[in-house]
Amino acid sequence: MIVTETAYSLDPTSLLDSLAGTENLLIIQDLDGVCMDLVRDPLSRTLEPAYLQAALALDGHFQVLTNGEHIGSRGVNGLVERAIGARPHCQEQGLYLPGLAAGGVQVQDRHGRISHPGVSAAELAFLAAAPAHLSASLKTLLQQAPYNLPAHDIDRLLASSMLDNPLSPTINLNAFHHHWHDQPALYARLQADGAKHLQALLDRAAAQGLAQSFFVHYAPNLGRDADGHERLRPAQGSAAGTTDMQLMLRGAVKEAGVLVLLNRHYGQRTGVYPLGETFNARQAPTSLEALRQLAVERFDPRYMPRLVGVGDTLTSSAVTSEAGDITWLRGGSDRGFLTLVQELGKAFGQHNLVLYVDSSRGEVQRPGVDAGYLRDHPDDPWPALAGISDANDPLRLSAIFADGPCQYIAFFRALAAARQRG
């Protein structure tokens, strides 16, 4: 199916022949909700061995781009090792997922070699201390009114919710949303209190001379305000809104990671790094237009790969003013990088793809795609994409995996097999 402005493909297999025959291909893929289901407790995530083998078969044409991390107690490398075998085996066989984590500041090759370009020792030390500080402050909060949680509940919930990621410590509220499923007001109060605790952490960093080092990433979010800060998506009724609040390093945004990955792709294929061999996400421009312009100026079109961006976190919410005017707030942690993939396709005259995986069938509440409505109303898809996209959204989805990660994994494996067959 040819994707038009108002028609979305629910049959991604139609893309297989085209992608299998594209010699210079680069797939840039998110992780949670794409190749594994979203779960309340990140420690319960799993990866399919067959998916990891397919990723290895696509070596040189596949990179991950995630706000999660490769390393740490909740890192994806542990999932790889549980799926495949011991660390030495994964290292020797090159079975780790190559690419960028922590929003783009944690670099890994497929043998598990890690680096953090552009990150200072002082920043690393502050990040290392952040989980314990957040956990202690949240524990004190939850002991008090209006929460008044017993100690055993606090310990259990914090064990699932305080993610001690080395470069992106995170409060994950999914367990609390589930715990207070019949008390949505308490969850909404904690969501607001959690945001205040992250702001207090930013103030603490500023007091240590690190005012320009960090920002707070909300997932999902409602885009950015006029000052460039991400908007929290408030809980409404049973809708969870923002569930993840991450302390991130400045510059650690996925759209900057696209240029880092492209620069590395050029270097590996041509021996020349258009942005310099040491270019990292923290050196990248901050706006999508500036990122696009930098790519146009520095990347030789002859070697530009066909890009495929894959993600699951997009939001679109209408806000009506007192005068009746409607403004759309669009966000989601995958929106920036998927939009840049789309715009680079236009700039370099090639058919880049934006693939959307519906992750709403997992344990975490997300807006879902109404596939039945979409099939029956191909010229009016927007009710089927409520909360995800809208008629005026500049980001267009090339194909939708309405059946979620299981459907995407099958597609990914079929693509790897087709490219191996040549």
Domain count across the chain? 2
Q: What is the pLDDT of residues 366-380, one digit of tens each?
A: 999 999 999 999 889
Residue in the block written with tokens 């929460």 = 147
Query: What mean pLDDT do residues 246-270 have?
Result: 97
User: Residue 43 — pLDDT band, cuts 50, 70, 90?
Assistant: confident
- DSSP letter for 286, please: S
Query: What mean pLDDT do residues 354-362 have?
Result: 96
Q: Which of 249, 276, 307 is the last residue of a domain?
A: 249
> Does residue 200 have a pLDDT over 50?
yes
User: Residue 322 — pLDDT band, cuts 50, 70, 90?
Assistant: confident
Token output for 11: 């049959």
Instruction: Tell me whether residue 83 is exposed, middle or buried, using C-beta atoms within 10 angstroms of its C-beta: 0 to 12, 13 to 18, 19 or more.
Output: middle
Residue 352 resides in a domain: yes
> Does residue 15 have a pLDDT over 90?
yes
- The SS3 assignment for 264 reads helix
Q: In this structure, are 261 and 350 located in the same domain? A: yes
Residue 5 resides in a domain: no
The whole domain housing 265 covers 12-116+253-421
Q: In this structure, are 345 and 283 located in the same domain? A: yes
Each residue of 317-350: b (16+ CB within 10 Å) or e? Answer: beeeeeeeeeeebbbbbbbbbbbbbbbbbebbee
CA distance 310 to 321: 34
> Does residue 1 have a pLDDT over 90?
no
- The average confidence (pLDDT) of the chain is 95
CA-based nearest residue to 41, from 177, 140, 149: 177
Query: What mean pLDDT do residues 241-268 have?
Result: 97
User: Residue 7 — pLDDT band, cuts 50, 70, 90?
Assistant: low
Q: What is the pLDDT of residues 182-193, one digit of tens each?
A: 999 999 999 999
Q: What is the pLDDT of residues 44-86, one digit of tens each?
A: 999 999 999 999 999 999 999 999 999 999 999 999 999 999 9
Beta strands (DSSP E) in 312-348 are: 315-320, 326-331
Amino acid 323: pLDDT = 84
Residue 7 resides in a domain: no
Amino acid 41: pLDDT = 84
CA distance 153 to 167: 27
Q: Which helix (H) or strand (E) holds 353?
A: strand 353-357
CATH number, domain containing residue 279: 3.40.50.1000
Task: State the pTM of this model.
Answer: 0.92
Q: What's the CA angle centered on 103, arms 100 and 106, to 5 degrees?
A: 45
Q: In this structure, are 265 and 405 located in the same domain? A: yes
